[in-house]
Amino acid sequence: MAVKKSGLGKGLDSLIPKQTAAKHSTGAGAGTSGDVSAKDETKSAVKKEPPLNQEVKLKLTQIEPNRDQPRKSFDEQALAELADSIRQFGVIQPLIVQKKGDFYEIIAGERRWRAARMAGLKEIPVIIREFSDRQAVEISLIENIQRENLNPIEEAVAYKRLLNEFDLTQEEVADRVSKSRAAVTNSMRLLKLDDRVQQMVVEEKLSTGHARALLGIADAELQYQCAQEIFDRKLSVRDVERMVKVLSSKKKEKPKQDESQPQDFIYQDLEERMKALLGTKVSIDHRNQNRGRIVIDYYSNEELERLMYLFQSISDEKN
């Protein structure tokens, strides 16, 4: 029985790996072209993935941020400074990433990745690891909190996510981020602020101390008005604490209280402070366009002389 040459050739090709066939090729005739093509296909098919748990370099275009990353805002000035450092010394600490489809997702180190792009780098050192979705989110939250890269509101949101999504207690959260339970509790209290006030904290128009003082005001609209007053007048935290104390001491039965403006209470507080300083009644009549008058009461010639002496002493100290 005659054997067909084409059939025998096909059988050998199917039994011998293309790598081997290419290796033993003589390079003659039509077989040369086929072997080279097979070799190229093999290279493409056997493309190695970077090893896990080892420092390797990846192109920045292969890496993308984690969408569940708690940090939403980045200080451009701080990024520029980090980019300058990277230009001089490179990225000293590798990013932590994981394979996600056809790209690598950042678990820890987005700030370094952004600065590296700003510095014009094409590649960046990374360590590739495998995490569950839960582990990836938890690690990203904890890494950002521990590095203090979050603004106060982002930090509070991160704590809340650790509590709600991972069923952790406040003690467990505090232990994982190496902070006290009181620090975690006080941070999360900021989320009770009006959303507009929270945004002012994010934009650094209010400090954390100002924000905590404002928690003493339950009414959201009045809280926001007070926050604007703090920013406009550059009030200190102690000023805000006094203002909130005055607001809290107001009698609820007064019908006009709900219509009061936060600056009314500021002037009332100023009146009380001037009264304590001068030892007599003081009234501030505030008018529009930041104008007004101060009325100082006296009840005898001796008291008037005492006030004059007090003002003279203040004047002499300044001179």
End-to-end alpha-carbon separation of the chain, Å? 126
Contact 138, 69 (CB under 8 A): no
Count of positions (residues) in the chain: 319
Looking at the DSSP bridge assignments, the partners of residue 96 are 108, 127
130 included as an active-site residue: no
Beta strands in the chain (DSSP E): 55-59, 63-64, 95-100, 103-108, 123-128, 282-286, 292-296
Report the C-alpha gap between 228 and 221 in whole angstroms. Answer: 11
Which candidate, 64, 54, 121, 62, places its Cα nearest to that of 91? Answer: 121
The tokens of 63 are what? 């890496």
Q: Kindly give, in sequence order, each residue whose CB lies less than 8 Å from that of residue 227, ignoring residues fewer than 6 positions away.
A: 194, 196, 197, 200, 205, 206, 210, 214
Looking at the DSSP bridge assignments, the partners of residue 103 are 100
Contact 224, 252 (CB under 8 A): no
Annotated catalytic residue within 76, 105, 110, 241:
110
The vertex-318 CA angle with 316 and 319, nearest 5°, equals 65
The tokens of 236 are what? 């200190």
Report the C-alpha gap between 162 and 171 in whole angstroms. Answer: 11
> 276 phi and psi, to 5 degrees?
-70, -35
Q: Which positions are annotated as active-site residues?
A: 110
